[in-house]
Protein backbone atom coordinates (compact mmCIF):
# COMPACT_ATOMS: atom_id res chain seq x y z
CA UNK A 1 0.00 0.00 0.00
CA UNK A 2 1.52 3.28 -1.12
CA UNK A 3 0.31 6.60 0.28
CA UNK A 4 0.58 9.68 -1.94
CA UNK A 5 -0.41 13.35 -1.38
CA UNK A 6 -4.14 14.06 -1.45
CA UNK A 7 -6.10 17.18 -2.33
CA UNK A 8 -9.36 18.63 -0.95
CA UNK A 9 -8.73 19.26 2.72
CA UNK A 10 -8.74 22.18 5.13
CA UNK A 11 -7.33 22.85 8.60
CA UNK A 12 -9.50 21.81 11.55
CA UNK A 13 -7.58 22.80 14.70
CA UNK A 14 -5.08 20.06 15.49
CA UNK A 15 -6.56 17.93 12.74
CA UNK A 16 -7.21 18.16 9.05
CA UNK A 17 -10.71 18.06 7.60
CA UNK A 18 -11.21 16.03 4.44
CA UNK A 19 -13.42 17.97 2.00
CA UNK A 20 -13.81 15.20 -0.57
CA UNK A 21 -17.03 13.59 0.60
CA UNK A 22 -19.83 14.80 2.88
CA UNK A 23 -18.58 12.65 5.76
CA UNK A 24 -16.00 15.44 6.16
CA UNK A 25 -13.80 13.37 8.50
CA UNK A 26 -11.59 15.37 10.87
CA UNK A 27 -8.36 13.38 10.98
CA UNK A 28 -5.23 13.35 13.12
CA UNK A 29 -1.96 12.51 11.32
CA UNK A 30 -2.01 8.82 10.41
CA UNK A 31 -5.73 8.40 11.11
CA UNK A 32 -7.76 6.94 8.23
CA UNK A 33 -11.19 8.25 7.34
CA UNK A 34 -14.46 6.34 7.11
CA UNK A 35 -13.47 5.25 3.58
CA UNK A 36 -10.28 3.61 4.98
CA UNK A 37 -8.19 4.75 2.00
CA UNK A 38 -7.54 8.42 2.78
CA UNK A 39 -5.73 9.58 5.91
CA UNK A 40 -4.46 12.59 7.76
CA UNK A 41 -0.78 13.49 7.37
CA UNK A 42 1.46 16.19 8.78
CA UNK A 43 0.15 19.39 7.18
CA UNK A 44 -2.27 17.70 4.84
CA UNK A 45 -3.71 14.39 3.71
CA UNK A 46 -2.67 11.26 1.85
CA UNK A 47 -4.51 8.73 -0.28
CA UNK A 48 -3.90 5.07 -1.11
CA UNK A 49 -6.06 5.29 -4.24
CA UNK A 50 -3.43 6.18 -6.86
CA UNK A 51 -3.60 2.46 -7.54
CA UNK A 52 -5.72 -0.21 -9.13
CA UNK A 53 -6.66 -3.82 -8.49
CA UNK A 54 -7.80 -4.42 -12.08
CA UNK A 55 -7.23 -3.31 -15.68
CA UNK A 56 -10.29 -4.67 -17.49
CA UNK A 57 -11.37 -3.75 -20.99
CA UNK A 58 -15.06 -4.00 -21.72
CA UNK A 59 -17.92 -2.16 -23.44
CA UNK A 60 -19.13 1.11 -21.86
CA UNK A 61 -22.59 -0.49 -21.80
CA UNK A 62 -21.38 -2.54 -18.88
CA UNK A 63 -20.88 0.46 -16.54
CA UNK A 64 -23.75 1.04 -17.63
CA UNK A 65 -23.61 3.93 -20.12
CA UNK A 66 -26.24 3.75 -22.88
CA UNK A 67 -26.07 7.33 -24.21
CA UNK A 68 -22.30 7.81 -24.06
CA UNK A 69 -20.33 6.57 -27.09
CA UNK A 70 -22.38 3.37 -27.66
CA UNK A 71 -20.21 0.35 -28.34
CA UNK A 72 -16.98 2.08 -27.26
CA UNK A 73 -14.54 0.24 -25.05
CA UNK A 74 -13.73 1.26 -21.51
CA UNK A 75 -10.47 0.41 -19.78
CA UNK A 76 -11.63 0.03 -16.20
CA UNK A 77 -9.48 0.73 -13.14
CA UNK A 78 -10.52 0.37 -9.51
CA UNK A 79 -8.68 0.81 -6.24
CA UNK A 80 -10.14 -0.80 -3.12
CA UNK A 81 -12.41 1.36 -0.96
CA UNK A 82 -15.78 3.07 -0.73
CA UNK A 83 -17.38 5.93 1.19
CA UNK A 84 -20.55 3.80 1.49
CA UNK A 85 -20.94 0.44 3.22
CA UNK A 86 -24.05 -0.82 1.40
CA UNK A 87 -25.55 -3.97 2.89
CA UNK A 88 -26.16 -5.56 -0.52
CA UNK A 89 -22.82 -4.76 -2.24
CA UNK A 90 -21.94 -7.49 -4.74
CA UNK A 91 -18.48 -5.93 -5.06
CA UNK A 92 -17.75 -6.07 -1.33
CA UNK A 93 -14.54 -8.13 -1.76
CA UNK A 94 -13.11 -4.98 -3.37
CA UNK A 95 -15.20 -2.06 -2.17
CA UNK A 96 -15.31 -2.83 1.53
CA UNK A 97 -11.56 -2.81 2.06
CA UNK A 98 -10.60 -1.88 5.61
CA UNK A 99 -13.95 -2.67 7.22
CA UNK A 100 -14.79 -5.53 9.58
CA UNK A 101 -13.78 -8.81 7.94
CA UNK A 102 -13.00 -6.77 4.84
CA UNK A 103 -10.62 -7.89 2.12
CA UNK A 104 -6.85 -7.37 2.16
CA UNK A 105 -5.23 -4.57 0.15
CA UNK A 106 -4.35 -5.87 -3.27
CA UNK A 107 -3.60 -3.09 -5.73
CA UNK A 108 -0.64 -1.79 -7.70
CA UNK A 109 0.33 1.84 -8.38
CA UNK A 110 -1.06 3.23 -11.64
CA UNK A 111 1.32 4.32 -14.39
CA UNK A 112 -0.84 7.07 -15.90
CA UNK A 113 0.91 7.48 -19.28
CA UNK A 114 0.88 3.70 -19.73
CA UNK A 115 -2.86 3.46 -19.01
CA UNK A 116 -3.66 6.35 -21.34
CA UNK A 117 -1.53 4.83 -24.11
CA UNK A 118 -3.24 1.46 -23.69
CA UNK A 119 -6.68 3.10 -23.86
CA UNK A 120 -5.72 5.25 -26.85
CA UNK A 121 -4.47 2.23 -28.76
CA UNK A 122 -7.95 0.67 -28.54
CA UNK A 123 -9.98 3.88 -28.90
CA UNK A 124 -11.19 3.34 -25.35
CA UNK A 125 -12.06 5.70 -22.55
CA UNK A 126 -10.76 5.09 -19.03
CA UNK A 127 -13.47 4.18 -16.54
CA UNK A 128 -13.12 4.23 -12.79
CA UNK A 129 -15.73 1.79 -11.55
CA UNK A 130 -16.42 -1.28 -9.30
CA UNK A 131 -15.39 0.59 -6.12
CA UNK A 132 -15.90 4.31 -5.43
CA UNK A 133 -14.00 6.41 -7.99
CA UNK A 134 -14.40 9.75 -6.22
CA UNK A 135 -11.95 8.48 -3.60
CA UNK A 136 -9.43 8.44 -6.46
CA UNK A 137 -9.91 12.07 -7.43
CA UNK A 138 -6.15 12.68 -7.80
CA UNK A 139 -5.82 9.72 -10.17
CA UNK A 140 -8.86 10.95 -12.11
CA UNK A 141 -7.29 14.39 -12.60
CA UNK A 142 -3.99 12.88 -13.71
CA UNK A 143 -5.68 10.52 -16.19
CA UNK A 144 -7.73 13.37 -17.63
CA UNK A 145 -4.70 15.62 -17.98
CA UNK A 146 -2.70 12.97 -19.83
CA UNK A 147 -5.75 11.74 -21.69
CA UNK A 148 -6.67 15.12 -23.18
CA UNK A 149 -3.82 15.16 -25.68
CA UNK A 150 -4.43 11.52 -26.65
CA UNK A 151 -8.20 11.92 -27.03
CA UNK A 152 -8.84 9.58 -24.10
CA UNK A 153 -11.79 10.57 -21.90
CA UNK A 154 -12.38 9.61 -18.28
CA UNK A 155 -15.73 8.38 -16.94
CA UNK A 156 -16.99 7.32 -13.51
CA UNK A 157 -19.49 4.87 -12.09
CA UNK A 158 -19.99 6.56 -8.74
CA UNK A 159 -22.15 6.70 -5.62
CA UNK A 160 -22.31 10.46 -6.14
CA UNK A 161 -21.32 11.14 -2.55
CA UNK A 162 -19.15 14.21 -3.05
CA UNK A 163 -18.95 17.69 -1.57
CA UNK A 164 -19.72 20.66 -3.82
CA UNK A 165 -15.99 21.57 -3.71
CA UNK A 166 -15.01 18.13 -4.92
CA UNK A 167 -17.56 18.27 -7.75
CA UNK A 168 -16.13 21.63 -8.86
CA UNK A 169 -12.61 20.20 -8.90
CA UNK A 170 -13.42 17.03 -10.83
CA UNK A 171 -16.03 18.13 -13.40
CA UNK A 172 -13.47 19.42 -15.92
CA UNK A 173 -11.83 15.99 -15.83
CA UNK A 174 -14.95 13.89 -16.48
CA UNK A 175 -16.76 13.20 -19.75
CA UNK A 176 -19.54 11.15 -18.19
CA UNK A 177 -20.68 9.83 -14.85
CA UNK A 178 -23.22 7.16 -13.94
CA UNK A 179 -24.47 7.81 -10.42
CA UNK A 180 -26.26 5.27 -8.24
CA UNK A 181 -29.35 6.79 -6.63
CA UNK A 182 -30.36 4.16 -4.10
CA UNK A 183 -33.22 6.00 -2.43
CA UNK A 184 -34.37 9.37 -1.14
CA UNK A 185 -35.67 8.55 2.32
CA UNK A 186 -32.82 9.75 4.53
CA UNK A 187 -33.27 7.27 7.40
CA UNK A 188 -33.50 4.20 5.16
CA UNK A 189 -30.70 5.40 2.87
CA UNK A 190 -28.46 5.91 5.87
CA UNK A 191 -29.29 2.45 7.24
CA UNK A 192 -28.41 0.87 3.89
CA UNK A 193 -25.31 2.86 3.00
CA UNK A 194 -24.10 4.58 6.15
CA UNK A 195 -24.47 7.94 4.43
CA UNK A 196 -26.98 10.67 3.57
CA UNK A 197 -29.04 10.66 0.35
CA UNK A 198 -29.41 14.40 -0.27
CA UNK A 199 -25.79 14.94 -1.43
CA UNK A 200 -26.24 12.23 -4.07
CA UNK A 201 -29.18 14.00 -5.67
CA UNK A 202 -27.31 17.31 -5.39
CA UNK A 203 -24.35 15.71 -7.21
CA UNK A 204 -26.58 14.50 -10.05
CA UNK A 205 -27.83 18.05 -10.49
CA UNK A 206 -24.38 19.63 -10.19
CA UNK A 207 -22.66 17.28 -12.66
CA UNK A 208 -25.53 17.75 -15.10
CA UNK A 209 -25.41 21.54 -14.79
CA UNK A 210 -21.65 21.49 -15.31
CA UNK A 211 -22.08 19.70 -18.64
CA UNK A 212 -20.84 16.25 -17.64
CA UNK A 213 -22.98 13.55 -19.32
CA UNK A 214 -25.04 11.98 -16.51
CA UNK A 215 -26.87 8.66 -16.33
CA UNK A 216 -28.49 7.35 -13.14
CA UNK A 217 -28.77 3.77 -11.84
CA UNK A 218 -31.21 2.59 -9.20
CA UNK A 219 -30.99 -0.90 -7.74
CA UNK A 220 -34.42 -2.08 -6.57
CA UNK A 221 -33.33 -2.68 -2.98
CA UNK A 222 -36.13 -4.18 -0.85
CA UNK A 223 -37.26 -1.73 1.81
CA UNK A 224 -35.28 1.15 0.38
CA UNK A 225 -36.02 1.72 -3.29
CA UNK A 226 -38.21 -1.11 -4.59
CA UNK A 227 -41.72 0.04 -3.61
CA UNK A 228 -43.78 1.89 -6.25
CA UNK A 229 -43.86 4.94 -3.96
CA UNK A 230 -40.09 5.01 -3.55
CA UNK A 231 -39.51 4.46 -7.27
CA UNK A 232 -41.98 7.24 -8.14
CA UNK A 233 -40.18 9.65 -5.84
CA UNK A 234 -36.77 8.74 -7.31
CA UNK A 235 -38.01 9.01 -10.90
CA UNK A 236 -39.65 12.38 -10.20
CA UNK A 237 -36.43 13.69 -8.65
CA UNK A 238 -34.42 12.66 -11.72
CA UNK A 239 -37.02 14.09 -14.10
CA UNK A 240 -36.88 17.33 -12.15
CA UNK A 241 -33.19 17.58 -13.07
CA UNK A 242 -33.76 16.57 -16.70
CA UNK A 243 -36.20 14.18 -18.39
CA UNK A 244 -33.44 13.18 -20.80
CA UNK A 245 -31.26 11.60 -18.11
CA UNK A 246 -31.20 7.83 -18.82
CA UNK A 247 -32.42 5.82 -15.81
CA UNK A 248 -31.08 2.28 -15.39
CA UNK A 249 -33.13 -0.04 -13.19
CA UNK A 250 -30.97 -2.74 -11.65
CA UNK A 251 -32.18 -6.11 -10.45
CA UNK A 252 -31.49 -6.59 -6.74
CA UNK A 253 -29.16 -9.52 -6.04
CA UNK A 254 -29.25 -10.99 -2.52
CA UNK A 255 -25.64 -10.64 -1.36
CA UNK A 256 -23.30 -9.66 1.47
CA UNK A 257 -25.45 -8.64 4.48
CA UNK A 258 -28.79 -8.82 2.61
CA UNK A 259 -29.11 -12.52 1.83
CA UNK A 260 -32.62 -13.25 3.06
CA UNK A 261 -34.44 -11.16 0.46
CA UNK A 262 -35.44 -12.43 -2.97
CA UNK A 263 -34.04 -11.07 -6.25
CA UNK A 264 -36.19 -8.55 -8.12
CA UNK A 265 -38.72 -10.22 -10.42
CA UNK A 266 -39.07 -9.27 -14.10
CA UNK A 267 -42.64 -8.09 -13.32
CA UNK A 268 -41.34 -5.66 -10.69
CA UNK A 269 -38.79 -4.32 -13.16
CA UNK A 270 -41.46 -3.87 -15.83
CA UNK A 271 -43.62 -1.99 -13.32
CA UNK A 272 -40.65 0.20 -12.41
CA UNK A 273 -40.11 1.05 -16.10
CA UNK A 274 -43.74 2.19 -16.29
CA UNK A 275 -43.24 4.31 -13.17
CA UNK A 276 -40.21 5.99 -14.72
CA UNK A 277 -42.08 6.73 -17.93
CA UNK A 278 -45.08 8.06 -15.99
CA UNK A 279 -42.71 10.44 -14.18
CA UNK A 280 -41.71 11.84 -17.58
CA UNK A 281 -38.34 10.13 -18.02
CA UNK A 282 -37.67 9.51 -21.70
CA UNK A 283 -35.12 6.74 -21.42
CA UNK A 284 -35.63 3.99 -18.84
CA UNK A 285 -33.57 0.83 -19.16
CA UNK A 286 -33.36 -2.70 -17.79
CA UNK A 287 -30.22 -4.51 -18.85
CA UNK A 288 -31.23 -8.16 -18.97
CA UNK A 289 -34.53 -9.18 -17.41
CA UNK A 290 -36.87 -7.64 -20.00
CA UNK A 291 -35.01 -8.69 -23.13
CA UNK A 292 -34.11 -6.37 -26.01
CA UNK A 293 -37.05 -4.06 -25.38
CA UNK A 294 -35.57 -3.23 -22.00
CA UNK A 295 -32.26 -2.20 -23.55
CA UNK A 296 -33.17 -0.46 -26.79
CA UNK A 297 -33.46 3.30 -27.17
CA UNK A 298 -36.64 4.59 -28.73
CA UNK A 299 -37.09 8.05 -30.19
CA UNK A 300 -39.39 10.05 -27.94
CA UNK A 301 -40.66 11.86 -31.03
CA UNK A 302 -41.90 9.01 -33.22
CA UNK A 303 -41.24 5.81 -31.21
CA UNK A 304 -38.77 4.38 -33.73
CA UNK A 305 -35.99 2.18 -32.32
CA UNK A 306 -32.84 4.27 -32.74
CA UNK A 307 -30.25 2.26 -30.79
CA UNK A 308 -30.35 -1.54 -30.48
CA UNK A 309 -28.36 -3.31 -27.80
CA UNK A 310 -27.38 -6.80 -26.84
CA UNK A 311 -26.50 -7.75 -23.28
CA UNK A 312 -23.72 -5.33 -22.39
CA UNK A 313 -23.06 -4.55 -26.02
CA UNK A 314 -24.15 -2.38 -28.92
CA UNK A 315 -26.30 -3.99 -31.60
CA UNK A 316 -26.82 -1.13 -34.03
CA UNK A 317 -26.80 2.65 -33.71
CA UNK A 318 -29.25 4.13 -36.24
CA UNK A 319 -28.87 7.71 -35.05
CA UNK A 320 -27.70 10.28 -37.57
CA UNK A 321 -25.39 12.62 -35.63
CA UNK A 322 -27.58 12.11 -32.56
CA UNK A 323 -30.88 12.61 -34.41
CA UNK A 324 -33.64 10.09 -35.09
CA UNK A 325 -33.25 8.97 -38.74
CA UNK A 326 -37.05 8.87 -39.17
CA UNK A 327 -38.35 12.12 -37.66
CA UNK A 328 -35.18 14.09 -36.90
CA UNK A 329 -35.82 14.42 -33.15
CA UNK A 330 -32.58 14.98 -31.27
CA UNK A 331 -31.80 12.26 -28.71
CA UNK A 332 -29.75 13.50 -25.76
CA UNK A 333 -26.36 11.88 -25.35
CA UNK A 334 -22.71 11.93 -26.35
CA UNK A 335 -22.97 9.98 -29.57
CA UNK B 1 -10.19 -16.84 1.20
CA UNK B 2 -9.33 -14.57 -1.71
CA UNK B 3 -10.96 -13.37 -4.86
CA UNK B 4 -9.41 -12.75 -8.25
CA UNK B 5 -11.33 -10.16 -10.23
CA UNK B 6 -11.69 -11.20 -13.85
CA UNK B 7 -12.92 -9.32 -16.90
CA UNK B 8 -15.41 -11.88 -18.04
CA UNK B 9 -17.05 -15.17 -17.08
CA UNK B 10 -19.69 -16.98 -19.13
CA UNK B 11 -23.28 -16.74 -17.84
CA UNK B 12 -24.81 -20.09 -17.02
CA UNK B 13 -28.16 -18.56 -16.03
CA UNK B 14 -30.19 -16.67 -18.61
CA UNK B 15 -32.64 -13.81 -17.96
CA UNK B 16 -35.54 -15.94 -19.25
CA UNK B 17 -35.07 -18.14 -16.18
CA UNK B 18 -35.60 -15.36 -13.62
CA UNK B 19 -39.37 -15.79 -13.81
CA UNK B 20 -39.23 -19.46 -12.85
CA UNK B 21 -37.06 -18.89 -9.77
CA UNK B 22 -38.62 -16.02 -7.84
CA UNK B 23 -36.83 -17.03 -4.65
CA UNK B 24 -33.44 -16.97 -6.42
CA UNK B 25 -32.42 -20.50 -5.44
CA UNK B 26 -31.14 -21.54 -8.86
CA UNK B 27 -27.49 -22.65 -8.93
CA UNK B 28 -25.74 -24.00 -12.00
CA UNK B 29 -22.33 -25.61 -12.27
CA UNK B 30 -20.21 -26.60 -15.25
CA UNK B 31 -17.33 -28.94 -14.59
CA UNK B 32 -14.77 -29.51 -17.34
CA UNK B 33 -11.46 -31.23 -17.62
CA UNK B 34 -8.97 -28.89 -19.26
CA UNK B 35 -5.22 -29.06 -19.96
CA UNK B 36 -4.63 -27.31 -16.62
CA UNK B 37 -6.86 -29.64 -14.61
CA UNK B 38 -10.50 -29.55 -13.58
CA UNK B 39 -12.29 -26.25 -14.22
CA UNK B 40 -15.42 -25.52 -12.19
CA UNK B 41 -17.60 -22.67 -13.40
CA UNK B 42 -20.57 -21.63 -11.32
CA UNK B 43 -23.47 -19.20 -11.59
CA UNK B 44 -26.12 -18.49 -9.00
CA UNK B 45 -28.79 -15.94 -8.28
CA UNK B 46 -27.26 -15.62 -4.82
CA UNK B 47 -23.48 -15.07 -5.19
CA UNK B 48 -22.68 -16.34 -1.68
CA UNK B 49 -24.24 -19.70 -2.50
CA UNK B 50 -21.93 -20.37 -5.42
CA UNK B 51 -19.00 -19.06 -3.41
CA UNK B 52 -19.75 -21.61 -0.66
CA UNK B 53 -19.97 -24.39 -3.23
CA UNK B 54 -16.67 -23.42 -4.87
CA UNK B 55 -14.89 -23.06 -1.51
CA UNK B 56 -16.12 -26.49 -0.47
CA UNK B 57 -14.50 -27.81 -3.65
CA UNK B 58 -11.22 -26.25 -2.57
CA UNK B 59 -11.19 -23.28 -4.95
CA UNK B 60 -9.00 -20.46 -3.64
CA UNK B 61 -8.83 -17.81 -4.91
CA UNK B 62 -12.24 -17.66 -6.59
CA UNK B 63 -12.52 -15.83 -9.90
CA UNK B 64 -15.25 -13.20 -9.65
CA UNK B 65 -16.71 -10.70 -12.07
CA UNK B 66 -17.45 -7.30 -10.59
CA UNK B 67 -20.57 -5.23 -11.08
CA UNK B 68 -20.28 -1.91 -12.93
S1 LIG C 1 -13.26 10.72 1.45
FE2 LIG C 1 -12.79 9.34 3.17
S3 LIG C 1 -11.54 10.58 4.57
FE4 LIG C 1 -12.54 11.99 3.13
S5 LIG C 1 -14.40 12.65 4.22
FE6 LIG C 1 -14.96 10.91 2.91
S7 LIG C 1 -14.76 9.10 4.22
FE8 LIG C 1 -13.68 10.79 5.25
Q: Which among B3, B8, B24 is the nearest to A263, CB-wise?
A: B24
* Angle, alpha carbons B9-B10-B13 (nearest 5°): 125
d(CA A296, CA A316): 10
Q: Cα-Cα-Cα-Cα dihedral of A104, A110, A116, A119, to 10°? A: -30
> Is residue B59 over pLDDT 90?
no
End-to-end Cα, chain B, rounded Å: 23
Q: What is the pLDDT of residue B2?
A: 84
**What is the reported pLDDT for A138?**
98
Is residue A245 within 6 Å of ligand 1 at its C-beta? Answer: no
Residues in A whose CB is inside 8 Å of some CB of B read: 53-54, 56-58, 62-63, 78, 90-91, 93-94, 103-104, 106, 129-130, 157, 251, 253-256, 259, 262-263, 265-266, 288-291, 311
Residues 6+ apart with CB under 8 A from B12: B28, B29, B30, B41, B42, B43
Of A129, A254, A290, the CB nearest to B46: A254
Contact between residue A260 and residue A252 where contact means Cβ atoms under 8 Å apart: no
Task: Give pLDDT tens digits along chain A (335 positions).
Answer: 999 999 999 999 999 999 999 999 999 999 999 999 999 999 899 999 999 999 999 999 999 999 999 999 999 999 999 999 999 999 999 999 999 777 889 999 999 999 999 999 999 999 999 999 999 999 999 999 999 999 999 999 999 999 999 999 999 999 999 999 999 999 999 999 999 999 999 999 999 999 999 999 999 999 999 999 999 999 999 999 999 999 999 999 999 999 999 999 999 999 999 999 999 999 999 999 999 999 999 999 999 999 999 999 999 999 999 999 999 999 999 99
pLDDT at B1: 67
Q: What is the interface pTM, i.e. ipTM, of the complex?
A: 0.92
A174 C-beta closer than 6 A to ligand 1: no
pLDDT of residue A104: 87
Cα angle, residue B57 at apex, residues B2 and A108 outer, rounded to 5°: 15
Q: What is residue A192's three-state secondary structure?
A: helix
Amino acid sequence: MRWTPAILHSPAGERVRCDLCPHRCALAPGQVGACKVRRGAAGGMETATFATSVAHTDAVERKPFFHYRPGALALTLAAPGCSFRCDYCVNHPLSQYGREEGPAWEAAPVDVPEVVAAAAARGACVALSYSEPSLAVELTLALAEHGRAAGVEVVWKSNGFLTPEAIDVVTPALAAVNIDLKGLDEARHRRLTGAAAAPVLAAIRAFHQAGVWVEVSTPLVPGVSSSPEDLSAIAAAIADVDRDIPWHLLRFTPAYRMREENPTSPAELAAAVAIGRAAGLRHVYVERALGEEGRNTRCHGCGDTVVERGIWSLGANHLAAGDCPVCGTSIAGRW
Amino acid sequence: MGHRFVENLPDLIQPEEYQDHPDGRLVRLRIRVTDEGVEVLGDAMRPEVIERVLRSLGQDPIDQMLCG
